[in-house]
Amino acid sequence: DQQVKQNSPSLSVQEGRISILNCDYTNSMFDYFLWYKKYPAEGPTFLISISSIKDKNEDGRFTVFLNKSAKHLSLHIVPSQPGDSAVYFCAASRNNAGNMLTFGGGTRLMVKP
């Protein structure tokens, strides 16, 4: 039973345009959400996070939106750059579960020059 799902395995976007990566979750106990980026042959690196008490968090070109009622979050990258090409993982955690993360399956983003 996948509690965190990323239904799009891949996404292709033109440089300079917006990239929108989506993530859905089923466990209503999740209260903290994170996005990680992973390049080949490297471990995932933390990108941005959002608490369930917020609906938006912005950091430079990256913005995460959370819709609790729909159990949906999205990552917006504007403008997209070729260096953003990587696999993006959505992850979620529960406050009473320490820092344990449940990951989605990932979305491969390709930004074309």
Partner 1 sequence: EAEVAQSPRYKITEKSQAVAFWCDPISGHATLYWYRQILGQGPELLVQFQDESVVDDSQLPKDRFSAERLKGVDSTLKIQPAELGDSAMYLCASSSQIRTSGGAGSQYFGPGTRLLVL
Q: Which residues bind partner 1 (CB under 8 A)?
A: 4, 6, 9, 32, 34, 36, 41-46, 49, 51, 53, 89, 91, 93, 95, 97-106
CB 47 to partner 1: min, Å: 10
Beta carbon nearer to partner 1, 39 or 78: 39
For 1-113, strand residue ranges (E) read 4-5, 10-14, 19-25, 32-38, 45-51, 56-59, 62-67, 72-77, 86-93, 102-103, 107-112
CB 4 to partner 1: min, Å: 7
Beta carbon nearer to partner 1, 53 or 113: 53
